[in-house]
Structure 1
Amino acid sequence: MATKYSVKILQQKDIDEILKIQESWLIDKKGKDIKPSKLSRTISAFANTNGGDIYLGISHTEDKNEYFWDGFINEEQMNDFITMIDNMFSSYEDYSLETYQNCNDNTLILHIIIGKTSKIIYASDNKAYIRQGVQNIPCDTDEKILRLHLDKGLASFEDEYTQATFDELKSSSILSNFLSKVSPTTTPYDWLRRQKVMDSNARITVAGVLLYDECPQATLPKQSAIKILRYHTDEVEGTRETLDEGFPVTIEGDIYTLIHESVKKTKEIVEQPGVVGKEDIEAKEYPEVTLHEIITNAVLHRDYSIKKDIQIRIFTNRIEIESPGKLPGHITLDNIMQEQCARNPKIVRLIAKFPSPPNKDVGEGLNTAFNAMTKMQLKQPQIKTTDTSVLVVIRHERLADAETVVWDYLQTHSTISNSIARSLTGITDANKIKYVFNRLKDQGKIQIVSGTQGSATLWEKTDEKITILSNEQLTFDGF
């Protein structure tokens, strides 16, 4: 076997927990009698979608209402499966294996953990599969294969050629203003050819139209604008009845303009008194940098092959920004804050050449957006996915008051410092945090850790020590 894996002995309670797990788009269970070639379809589907876990050696009753342990007698019986899995992947980083041993009869099951891969993974029948619900769907048409390439970031719609030509773009004020500031001696023709957004027949790519056309929406209708909707409700879904008069508002233009105008309009709407406040009487404020970074992300990383505009939905208690397209490449909800994968690398690179580019914090945009919410003592945004889009929800919900945050932290940590308290509460002023500590001290809840002082001062709970001293005092008095 080419890869190593761990062996863990499970007690009955652990076995029961595994048997309780229900199959889903991220979980599958297979009996040990399945053929390796058939199992490879599930592995392909998980790898090509969002990853997942497979428990091999767990079967179900005929009515499929109950699972039961149906393990291998020994490790050798698993070898064909392990060899098949090894052959499917070029890197051990994309999967891992664990063997669970039943404490009652010593039989084994194989836990296969599949990561979302940056490459397309094919099953033993040379077909690629994707996961939809609890089904493994084959990509058996050219259209499905192309869609998988786009979802994986292996191909980008930004390089597709449009009906627009150089004759239509050469007089664009967007392009001429850009070149006058960035490269005054370069002609429009030379720039477009050099940046590979125009071919020898003067056809302009999707990226070229989005970046330099005055109205890309004429060439790319229903897939290059932003629609803003305002609802007077905090329900999960907005309705026609709760949609404010005059909405939706459509923002159009090149993507540089699109980003800045959408941020400006969104901020203008949410800060109107009586529009998004509680019971329509209170204005609410969101950090502009949060709106800017999340809208920038939605525009630069959306899937332009999907004929649907970006939507910004403003509710009484939140803003939702929905960008068409799945998370690209190897990006998942778990690693999106740390990893990078540009679906439209050419657009990302070229818009960064504009004066004051919207993506100046390359690779740090989401972190900047989240940190800005914390500084305003608002809860951080939530990132969700649907079958066809990425949704960011920015809620106008206050963090707990600073004293509560500090006290909750000390329930699971022995000490807290001023700097940690500032990062947790979003309060940047060290003196304000001192007041928080002193208020808790006056309540008899915390005290300074002996021997710490100045900028290195640490605080700890007092209740445990008080209890110990009281017991000691009681003992002393008893003598």
Structure 2
Amino acid sequence: MIENSLYDKKSLLTITSKKIDWKEIVKDVVGFSNAEGGIIEFGIEDDAEIPVSSQQIPDSLKTMLVNNINGKTNGVQISAEKKTYENGGETILLHIRRSNVMATTSDGRVYMRNGDNCEPITGEDLHRLAEDKGCYNWELQVSNYNISDCDTSRLKYILDAIRSSDRVSEFVKEKTDTELLRYFALLAEDNDMMTYLGVTFIGTQSQRQRISNAPTLQCFKYDEYGEKINKWTWDDYLSAPDEIMEQVWQTIPDWKESQEISDGLFRKNVMAYDKNVVRELICNAEVHRSYAITGDIFINIHPDYIEIVNPGRLPYGVTPGNILHKSKKRNPNYANLMRALKYVEIEGSGYDKMYEILLQQGKNVPKVIEGDDFVSVKVCRRIQNSKVLELMDFVEKHYQLRQKQKICLGLIAMHESITARELEKLLELNNADSLRPWLQPLVKQGLVISRNVRSRGLEYRVNSILLQNSEFRGTTSLKRIEDYRLKELIIEDLKLYKEAKLADIRERIGPEISEKRFKTQILSLEEEGIIGRRGSNRWTNYYLISTPKSK
């Protein structure tokens, strides 16, 4: 098994040698505990998949391992079991539960599992981790309300919805009502009292009002001058989170507005805001916000965009730059329940889905901003490029693409032409290898073609044959112009205007071409002795020295 964020393997010598490195072992245990939990398997060498057949584990070794770790850590919950492979070899599986408090070593050090490594946590990150652990405590905090005092209609609805969900296994569905409530953390483990999460979903209005930080939401509509012109609120604790989501969609008329675009001989209406995108945004705000601090979720509706703002920062390890790929459960039980009720996508795929929907509609992708005590997500209302919408509709009908490839194709179409490095940045990827599954299937199917551009590397654009087949009617653009043709246009411009600044040359020839490309070609013409310059910095003017000889 490959080492990852939930699994690590170590040689048996790690815990049987004369000098055991307990600091390293404890570091890994604390790291797993502060993350999602996991397993450390002792008895597998780094280059092996199974233990040697002669390897036998005495029971005393398990006891020694657990006792030493417990004595050298705080806030850690572990158990050990023996595993026997088909060849007869044995290993120790050390199970580490996710801690609902901050786990530390006995000398106060804190670590976090990130990928297949455990990293130290210090400074501001300690505060963020403590905040996340506070959220986990909020979910499981036991209230003063017995299950017999709950809202019976809500109880029946939640149980029926779980048992009818195709996201819940048959084994779970067969549990009794009490077992099912405990499985989804709505009921305390050792008594019949509802947890805070339980009160939030199946409690009464007065019960929700009396627990700390139950979800509330406010929506404001602004005009083009930034003045508030309407307001809707869900801050009276009358509704559970799933009810709030439905009421937001049904109550606010702005969601139902649409934009009309041409579709051949006909007209087509595109909703201002897709229902799945709105629900995903609100649910993300509810599920991933910090319940360790007080504050409402806000929806701000502006003429050109909506903004969802929730209190607290992003979970530890998640940033606006990696949110498309990084998945972190701040409120895991809340997330599991909303997933079972079909209000959120499978873990880690929510932003992927929003990217896919928005790009298929010719709109920009969501913009995530993290402040000192808030997170906001902005989604544009208007279609940025209706021709991209037509292209994506054609591709949807005639090609079998995965979600990744649809997102990648949409980004390329929106930008007309784009380099691999620019794609990596837009897709929040670390290197070219990570980009391959997004891009290469499009190249293999001939949907995207590439060309090598001097100083820019490989540049990608949608295949012109696909554009013709989809009757893509985009405007003529010089963005994909060849370098030698761009040089010719610069020379012709200087013939006509004698002397000019770079910005003026670019404005006359084609502002859609990047300034960097203009600078590169002008520098090349200078090196060839065709043009010269006067002045420096922003006062630099270029002039023609000689006309290149025709070949």
Task: Give the C-alpha shift of residue 382 in structure 1.
Answer: 0.8
Residue of structure 2 in register with 1:130 after alignment: 124
Q: What is the rounded CA distance, in whole Å, between the counterparts of 2:364 and 2:190 in structure 1? A: 51
Q: What is the rounded CA distance, in whole Å, between the counterparts of 1:148 and 1:90 in structure 2? A: 10
Partner SS, residue 378 of structure 1:
coil
Residue of structure 2 in register with 1:344 after alignment: 331
Aligned partners of 1:223 and 1:309 also within 8 Å: no
Q: 1:150 aligns with which of 126, 131, 135?
A: 131
Residue 293, structure 1, aligned to residue 280, structure 2: yes
| 1:464–1:331 distance in 2 versus 1, CA, 3 Å | same
Partner SS, residue 347 of structure 1:
helix
Amino acid in structure 2 at the alignment position of 1:230 = K
Residue of structure 2 in register with 1:43 after alignment: none
Residue 198, structure 1, aligned to residue 192, structure 2: no
Q: Which has the higher contact order (CA 8 A, sep 6+)?
A: 1
Aligned partners of 1:380 and 1:394 also within 8 Å: yes
Partner SS, residue 362 of structure 2:
coil
Aligned partners of 2:282 and 2:308 also within 8 Å: yes
Q: 1:8-62 deviations in whole A, cap 9, x for unaligned?
A: xxxxxxxxxxxxxxxxxxxxxxxxxxxxxxxxxxxxxxxx9xxxxxxxxxxxxxx
Residue 386, structure 1, aligned to residue 371, structure 2: yes
Residue 359, structure 1, aligned to residue 350, structure 2: no
Q: What is the rounded CA distance, in whole Å, between the counterparts of 1:330 and 1:320 in structure 2? A: 23
RMSD of aligned alpha carbons: 4.8
Aligned partners of 2:213 and 2:295 also within 8 Å: yes
Residue of structure 2 in register with 1:227 after alignment: 218
Task: Give the C-alpha shift of residue 262 in structure 1.
Answer: 2.3
Residue of structure 2 in register with 1:179 after alignment: 159
Aligned partners of 1:223 and 1:305 also within 8 Å: no
Q: 1:386-443 deviations in whole A, cap 9, x for unaligned?
A: 2222111112354357599869644858xx977349xx9999x945675448974xx8
Residue of structure 2 in register with 1:377 after alignment: 362
Q: What is the rounded CA distance, in whole Å, between the counterparts of 2:315 and 2:178 in structure 1? A: 32
Residue of structure 2 in register with 1:212 after alignment: 202
**Aligned sequence identity (%):** 18
| 1:198–1:330 distance in 2 versus 1, CA, 3 Å | same
Residue of structure 2 in register with 1:395 after alignment: 380
Residue of structure 1 in register with 2:293 after alignment: 306
| 1:93–1:260 distance in 2 versus 1, CA, 3 Å | closer
Aligned partners of 2:363 and 2:383 also within 8 Å: yes
Amino acid in structure 2 at the alignment position of 1:257 = E
Q: What is the rounded CA distance, in whole Å, between the counterparts of 1:407 and 1:249 in structure 2? A: 37
Q: What is the rounded CA distance, in whole Å, between the counterparts of 1:293 and 1:325 in structure 2? A: 18
| 1:226–1:120 distance in 2 versus 1, CA, 3 Å | farther
Q: What is the rounded CA distance, in whole Å, between the counterparts of 1:409 and 1:214 in structure 2? A: 54
Task: Give the C-alpha shift of residue 211 in structure 1.
Answer: 2.9
TM-score, normalised relative to structure 2: 0.46
Partner SS, residue 369 of structure 2:
strand
Aligned partners of 1:157 and 1:305 also within 8 Å: yes
Amino acid in structure 2 at the alignment position of 1:177 = Y
Partner SS, residue 244 of structure 1:
strand
Partner SS, residue 383 of structure 1:
strand
Amino acid in structure 2 at the alignment position of 1:167 = S
Task: Give the C-alpha shift of residue 179 in structure 1.
Answer: 2.3
Task: Give the C-alpha shift of residue 194 in structure 1.
Answer: 4.5
Aligned partners of 2:288 and 2:329 also within 8 Å: yes
Aligned partners of 2:273 and 2:381 also within 8 Å: yes
Q: What is the rounded CA distance, in whole Å, between the counterparts of 1:426 and 1:369 in structure 2? A: 22
Residue of structure 1 in register with 2:121 after alignment: 121
Partner SS, residue 352 of structure 1:
helix
Amino acid in structure 2 at the alignment position of 1:307 = T
| 1:120–1:466 distance in 2 versus 1, CA, 3 Å | closer
Partner SS, residue 305 of structure 1:
coil
Q: What is the rounded CA distance, in whole Å, between the counterparts of 2:184 and 2:414 in structure 1? A: 55
| 1:179–1:435 distance in 2 versus 1, CA, 3 Å | closer
Aligned partners of 1:374 and 1:426 also within 8 Å: no
Gap runs ≥5 in structure 1: 1-47, 49-86, 95-116, 123-128, 132-138, 140-144, 236-241, 275-282, 447-459
Q: What is the rounded CA distance, in whole Å, between the counterparts of 1:426 and 1:260 in structure 2? A: 39
Q: 1:445-477 deviations in whole A, cap 9, x for unaligned?
A: 69xxxxxxxxxxxxx645736979x9xx9646x
Task: Give the C-alpha shift of residue 310 in structure 1.
Answer: 0.9
Deviates more, 1:299-308 or 1:153-162: 153-162
Amino acid in structure 2 at the alignment position of 1:191 = L
| 1:175–1:432 distance in 2 versus 1, CA, 3 Å | farther
Residue of structure 1 in register with 2:149 after alignment: 168
Q: What is the rounded CA distance, in whole Å, between the counterparts of 1:431 and 1:358 in structure 2? A: 36
Partner SS, residue 447 of structure 2:
helix
Q: What is the rounded CA distance, in whole Å, between the counterparts of 1:249 and 1:352 in structure 2? A: 22
Gap runs ≥5 in structure 2: 1-33, 35-107, 164-172, 260-269, 389-410, 421-441, 450-459, 492-547
